[in-house]
Every structure is written in structure tokens, then in C-alpha cells.
């Protein structure tokens, strides 16, 4: 197990972990061999209700439990540990289970572009206007989510990491592709980098004065897992980070923090709220996104409350995703029909400013598929899904509604049959 003790004040409850029942700690140890686990004292101290930890959404989001593996997978790892197998034999078992958990859903390791005949192994270019950059120093997070769709990035043994640090190649690539208007720093969490490291990247981008680059985004969960990143009062580097944000905005480039919040409890303390105010004061916009997850936020009430709080704090709700089929997804998955109901019920409960959110959306191989509705076919009275690509590799294919056969239990678009009417 790995606990990071950051140098934050008000360190109060980390002791609670020591008092978890031995059986629970043992389960965590076993499951964490397969699913990368990392926490920190902000998550433990501020976000988890330890009086009710077994049902607490942030505990489940951050701490692995035995139900996240199939019983036979759990037993195989447990047996290997009990028998004190040599490390290489144990890791053979662990890695086999990891491969059963579909480490690269929706062809995640594809869409890798080339520059002058060289593959950019740390860049993805799927949609025509945006490039994703995976900086080497940003491929971890302040804590790890148990459902993480990029969990292989955190497993050294499988050598599945995908990242690079040659920003000049990324700049050249953007310059040569006139339709690219946005650059997304992603990970892991790019906000885990020090401001000095990040600034090395940003300064080169600003100096390049790319005429087609209009926006920079940072995909991050730092506001939830380590908001001290943006609090100069706790941390001198936070001031440098905020200055860099301002520098980006002052250069005429829109800066969007793509903040990952799974539950309203992550917004409900003075630390995160002050961090949000500081980011907004730097000129950056904060947009929010998260997947719908059983055991964590499978409730329209939770989403409505979260979006209301976000709007009140000046954030822009952006995406509600369907959990991807990777890692312990069987534990977290929600059917498409249920997701559609949660989304519509939640949006109905919010004011109009929260209706900026698009959902429920699947990040599928060809693009982002939104469930637009469940309707009855007027000819035969049978239910069907109405969907559309809100993003598609071929941008001409976006925003064209199509129909799929209804299936009450389906959890992903590839489990559905297309209807003839599409052709
Ligand atoms: S913050 Fe994002 S990348 Fe990091 S563990 Fe959570 S889901 Fe994965």
C-alpha cells in the first residue's frame, strides 16, 4: 500500500486508515496488486466520511475492495501471496489478470500520429481539431481512481506507458496541421507536474506563436485530489502555477481546466472552493466531466446536486460519460438505459445554466456516442435507442442521429444492433 503524506496543514484523520479492520486492509492489499492504488492525506482527511466508509463514494472511488475483482481472480492473487510465490511468478498471475481486464479499450493506443515518418508515442490525434499530449512527467495522479480508464499507465510491469517529453515535435505537428486548434495536456494528471516542468512546455508553445492554436486544456483531477496545487497560501509553487495560467490567457490563448469531479462531496469544503476562485481569477475557465459509476454516483440526485454546486461556483458542466469497459468495470457499470434516465432526471432538476452538460456519452472507437433518447418506433411500437456522435474521427459524421435496437441491459454501443433505418 502506498500513502503519500503531502506537506499540508490540518492533517487530522489519516489515523483512521490504521484502524480499518484487518480483513479490509488485507483485501485492499490483494486487490491493489492488480489495480493500482494510491491515496493521500487530503483525500483521507477532507473527503471521506470514515464513520460510514464502506458506503462512502470517495472511499469507493479511491480504495480498492474485493468485489472489484471476480472471485476467482481475487482467490488466485490471494493464494499466490499466501504461498509466498517468488515475485516473478506472482506477477505472472497478476499480469494475466490485468490482461483479462481489457487494458486498452476503444483502441486507446491507436490514433498515434506521425511527424516526418516518426510515430509520436505520446500524442493522440483522433478528432481533427484537437491533439492530446501525454507529457512524461504527468503520467501519475495525486491519488488513483479505482475505476480509472487509464490504469495501465500506472503499471510499470506491463510496460504499457504511453508518453513523451519532446514538445518541439508536438509544436511542429500542430503547425503542420492547420485544422488543429486545441492542445489537451492529459495523463495521468498533468497538474502533478511542478510549475517549473510545466512551464518548460508552455513557454515553448507560447514562443512558437502557432497561428492555428486557439485553446490549451489541462485534463486534471487535482481540484478534487490535491487542491493545494492552486493555493499559494499553502504552497509557494501554487503561485507560479497560477501565474503560468495567466500567462497563457494573456497570450490570447483560451485556457480550459477540464476538471474531473465524481461527486458533490468533492466540492464541499473551503480548500477546493478557494482553489476554484484562484483558478478563475487567473483567467482560466473550468469545465467539468466525470463518468457515471455504480456504487459512487449512480443517482440523478447526486448529479443534480453536483451540477448545481458547480454552476454556483462558476464551473461549466461539460460531459457525463459512460464508464469504459476496462479495469473493474463490471463493478461500476450502469446500463445505457439506466444512464439515460439518470442523466435526464438530473438535468431536469437543475437550472438552465447546468444544461451545458452533454451525456450520457461513450468514448467509443470511432468517437463519442451520445444516447439521445429511447423512443418507440411508430411502425411496430418497439423501443429503440436514438444516438449521435458528438465527436467522430470523420468530422462529417458528427451530429447525425442514428437508431439502434433497444436492449435494457446493454452497457456499450457495440452490444446493440443497428436498425435498418440507418442505411
Ligand atoms: S484522475 Fe483520471 S487518470 Fe488519474 S486515476 Fe483518476 S481517472 Fe485515472
144 Cα–ligand 1 center, Å: 6
- Considering the domain boundaries, does residue 23 fall inside one? yes
- Considering the domain boundaries, does residue 399 fall inside one? yes
Please say if the pLDDT value at position 359 is more than 50: yes
State the residue range of the domain holding 40. 3-100
The answer to whether residues 324 and 363 touch, using CB atoms and an 8 Å cutoff, is yes
Query: Which grid cell is 170?
Result: 508536438
Please name the residue whose Cα sits nearest to atom 1 of ligand 1.
Answer: 221
The answer to whether residues 334 and 323 touch, using CB atoms and an 8 Å cutoff, is yes
Sequence-distant contacts of 167-170: CB under 8 A, at least 24 apart: 167/133, 167/135, 167/200, 167/201, 167/204, 167/205, 168/204, 169/115, 169/118, 169/120, 169/123, 170/120, 170/123, 170/131, 170/133
Please name the residue whose Cα sits nearest to atom 7 of ligand 1.
Answer: 148
- Considering the domain boundaries, does residue 213 fall inside one? no
Please say if the pLDDT value at position 111 is more than 70: yes
pLDDT at 45: 87
Question: Average pLDDT of 322-337?
Answer: 95
The ligand 1 atom at the shortest distance from the C-alpha of residue 36 is 5
- Considering the domain boundaries, does residue 304 fall inside one? no
CA 5 to chain CA mean position, Å: 23
The neighbouring-strand residues paired with 390 are none
- Considering the domain boundaries, does residue 14 fall inside one? yes
Confidence of residue 7 (pLDDT cuts 50, 70, 90): very low
Boundary residue ending a domain (82, 100, 118): 100
Global pTM? 0.94
pLDDT at 16: 65
pLDDT at 172: 98
C-alpha distances (whole Å) from 177 to each of 167, 172, 174, 394 are 15, 9, 5, 15
- Considering the domain boundaries, does residue 311 fall inside one? no
Boundary residue ending a domain (75, 100, 125): 100
Question: Average pLDDT of 204-230?
Answer: 97
62 Cα–ligand 1 center, Å: 10
Question: Average pLDDT of 178-189?
Answer: 96
pLDDT at 104: 73
Cβ < 6 A, ligand 1 pocket: 141, 144-145, 148, 150, 187-189, 221, 260
**How many structural domains compose the chain?**
2
Mutating to test ligand 1, I would choose from 151, 160, 186, 221 the residue with most ligand atoms within 8 A of its C-beta, which is 221
Question: Average pLDDT of 310-332?
Answer: 96
More confident: 160 or 66: 66
When mean pLDDT is compared across 31-45, 182-196, 264-278, 326-340, the lowest value belongs to 31-45
More confident: 363 or 18: 363
Please say if the pLDDT value at position 421 is more than 70: no
pLDDT at 15: 63
pLDDT at 10: 43
Please say if the pLDDT value at position 266 is more than 60: yes
- Considering the domain boundaries, does residue 64 fall inside one? yes
Boundary residue ending a domain (44, 68, 100): 100
The ligand 1 atom at the shortest distance from the C-alpha of residue 151 is 8
Place of cell 506472482: 90
Question: Average pLDDT of 255-262?
Answer: 98
pLDDT at 155: 76
The ligand 1 atom at the shortest distance from the C-alpha of residue 221 is 1
Mean pLDDT, the chain, rounded, equals 92
pLDDT at 106: 59
pLDDT at 351: 82
Please name the residue whose Cα sits nearest to atom 8 of ligand 1.
Answer: 148
Please say if the pLDDT value at position 102 is more than 90: no
Please name the residue whose Cα sits nearest to atom 5 of ligand 1.
Answer: 144
Could you count the other beta carbons within 10 Å of the beta carbon of residue 254? 16
pLDDT at 194: 96
- Considering the domain boundaries, does residue 172 fall inside one? no
420 Cα–ligand 1 center, Å: 39
Mutating to test ligand 1, I would choose from 105, 139, 145 the residue with most ligand atoms within 8 A of its C-beta, which is 145
Q: For residues 43 and 76, what is the distance between their CA atoms, to the nearest angstrom?
A: 30
The ligand 1 atom at the shortest distance from the C-alpha of residue 154 is 5
Amino acid at each position: 500500500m502506498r500513502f503519500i503524506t503531502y506537506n499540508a496543514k490540518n492533517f487530522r484523520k489519516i489515523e483512521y486508515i490504521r484502524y480499518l479492520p484487518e480483513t479490509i486492509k488485507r483485501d485492499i492489499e490483494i486487490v491493489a496488486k492488480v489495480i493500482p492504488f494510491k491515496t493521500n492525506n487530503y483525500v483521507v482527511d477532507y473527503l471521506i466520511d470514515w464513520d460510514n466508509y464502506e458506503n462512502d463514494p470517495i472511499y469507493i472511488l479511491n480504495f480498492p475492495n474485493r468485489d472489484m475483482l471476480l472471485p476467482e481472480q481475487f482467490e488466485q492473487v490471494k493464494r499466490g501471496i499466501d504461498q509466498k510465490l517468488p515475485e516473478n511468478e506472482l506477477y505472472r498471475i497478476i499480469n494475466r489478470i490485468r490482461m483479462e481486464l481489457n487494458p486498452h479499450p476503444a483502441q486507446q493506443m491507436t490514433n498515434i500520429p506521425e511527424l516526418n515518418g516518426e510515430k509520436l508515442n505520446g500524442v493522440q490525434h483522433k478528432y481533427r481539431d484537437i491533439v492530446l499530449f501525454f507529457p512524461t512527467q504527468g503520467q501519475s495522479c495525486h491519488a488513483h481512481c479505482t475505476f480509472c480508464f487509464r490504469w495501465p499507465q500506472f503499471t510499470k510491469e506491463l510496460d504499457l506507458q504511453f508518453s513523451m517529453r519532446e514538445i518541439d515535435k508536438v509544436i511542429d505537428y500542430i503547425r503542420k496541421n492547420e485544422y488543429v486548434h486545441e492542445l489537451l495536456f492529459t495523463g495521468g494528471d498533468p497538474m502533478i507536474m511542478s510549475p517549473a516542468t510545466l512551464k518548460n512546455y508552455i513557454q515553448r508553445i507560447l514562443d512558437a506563436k502557432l497561428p492555428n492554436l486557439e485553446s490549451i486544456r489541462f485534463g486534471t483531477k487535482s481540484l478534487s485530489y490535491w487542491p493545494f496545487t492552486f493555493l499559494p497560501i499553502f504552497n509557494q509553487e501554487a503561485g507560479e502555477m497560477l501565474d503560468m495560467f495567466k500567462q497563457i490567457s494573456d497570450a490570447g490563448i483560451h485556457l480550459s481546466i477540464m476538471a474531473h469531479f465524481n461527486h458533490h462531496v468533492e466540492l464541499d469544503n473551503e480548500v477546493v472552493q478557494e482553489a476554484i476562485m484562484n483558478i478563475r481569477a487567473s483567467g482560466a475557465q473550468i469545465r467539468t466531466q466525470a463518468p457515471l459509476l455504480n456504487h459512487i454516483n449512480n443517482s440523478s440526485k447526486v448529479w443534480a446536486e453536483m451540477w448545481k454546486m458547480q454552476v454556483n461556483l462558476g464551473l461549466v458542466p461539460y460531459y457525463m460519460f459512460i464508464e469504459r469497459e476496462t479495469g473493474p468495470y463490471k463493478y461500476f457499470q450502469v446500463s445505457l438505459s439506466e444512464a439515460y434516465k439518470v442523466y435526464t432526471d438530473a438535468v431536469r432538476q437543475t437550472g438552465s445554466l447546468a444544461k451545458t452538460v452533454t451525456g450520457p456519452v461513450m468514448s467509443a472507437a470511432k468517437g463519442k456516442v451520445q444516447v439521445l433518447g429511447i423512443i418507440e418506433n411508430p411502425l411496430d411500437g418497439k423501443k429503440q435507442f436514438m444516438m449521435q456522435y458528438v465527436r467522430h474521427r470523420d468530422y462529417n459524421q458528427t451530429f447525425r442521429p442514428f437508431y439502434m435496437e433497444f436492449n435494457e441491459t446493454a452497457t456499450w454501443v457495440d452490444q446493440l444492433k443497428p436498425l435498418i433505418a440507418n442505411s
